[in-house]
Amino acid sequence: MKILAVAACAAVLGTGVLAYTGQSDWAEETLSMAESSGIMPYVIRNSDVSMPVTRAEFAAVAVRLYDAMSEVPAEAADHNPFSDTADRDVLKAYAAGIVNGMTETTFEPESELTREQAAAMLARVYELAGEGEAAPAYTALFADDDEISDWARDAVYFMNENGIIAGVGGNRFAPGDTASREQAVVIAQRMLERFSPGSVVTPAPEETGVPEPTEEAPSETQAAEGDMLSRIPVPDFGEITESREDSYGATIVISGATLEDFEAYSAVVSGVFPQHINNLDNSFIIRSDGEYEINVNYSNGSITVTLEPADQ
């Protein structure tokens, strides 16, 4: 198996090469805007965006939206109250007050997000970012108003009245319906444009992966702070089942991999970080200029890739 050259180049340069699939024509421009705005998380940027968004994935979107709208970025909770997830973005969203658990000890990260849950999370982002109270005017009610949960009702109408989340037709909101990944990113980008217009950026041009002759190519270790995931080459095999990053580094887990995939992927990684290589059985460690260390491990059909500062 070979890794796509453009994906490897994107990982090195920290560019905005879009790796998602399944996008709708109507969403394409807004998705590009969200990529440029920095509110599209890695886990969605490298997925089929037509699929339903999970609670953990939307928490990652909401945290990035909060960071874009707030003067103080979200920080992870010191204590993890959940027994079913240790996702860094979930813990940031929980600590900031953007999300709640489904119970006192569970978050249900893989559960599909409902439209009213999305509205509630966005309303919390709006209030926590200091924009004011998410208080709707209730100028008109949806035909299925009685199906909207009491805890989400203000948020649903506020988001609808401000053009963030539209109805589904027939004057219905469909609060219990699921949202797709692209819909989740689109409504977050709409909110950023509506309430923080100064943060909106022009969509990035299509990235070829090759700098113009007049540009100075970034170094292999250069990337925006807090975006270490972009330095890990994206595979074109298996499925990324876990991705996370924090101040200590970044990790992805690729399931459905073979030993052949591991060997080919290690070869790609060695081209990205070509110095100080230690090649062990089913483990591949590289130090790049003594600044970063990338570790590729293969076990039981899964590849775990970790990138962290070399002095840790």
Return per-residue pLDDT of the chain as tens, 312 residues.
323 322 333 333 333 344 789 999 999 999 999 988 889 988 898 889 999 999 999 999 999 999 999 878 888 888 889 999 888 889 999 999 999 999 999 999 999 999 999 999 999 999 999 889 999 999 999 999 999 999 999 999 999 999 999 999 899 999 999 999 999 999 999 999 999 766 544 343 333 333 333 333 333 333 334 467 777 878 878 888 888 887 667 888 888 888 888 888 877 776 665 544 444 445 555 544 456 677 788 887 888 888 877 654
Strand 277-280, strand 302-309: pairing? unpaired
Question: What three-state secondary structure class fits 302?
Answer: strand
H-helix or E-strand spanning residue 2: none
The predicted pLDDT at position 128 comes to: 94
The separation between CA 294 and the C-alpha centre of its own chain, rounded to angstroms, equals 21
CA-CA distance, 250 to 139, in Å (whole number)?
Answer: 46
The predicted pLDDT at position 272 comes to: 61
The predicted pLDDT at position 88 comes to: 84
Q: Would you tell me the crossing angle of helices 88-96 and 55-69 to the nearest 10 degrees?
A: 60
Task: Say which amino acid occupies 149.
Answer: S
The predicted pLDDT at position 61 comes to: 96
The predicted pLDDT at position 99 comes to: 94
The predicted pLDDT at position 7 comes to: 34
Report the predicted TM-score, pTM, of the whole model to 2 decimal places. 0.62
CA-CA distance, 123 to 155, in Å (whole number)?
Answer: 5
What is the 8-class DSSP label of residue 112? Answer: B
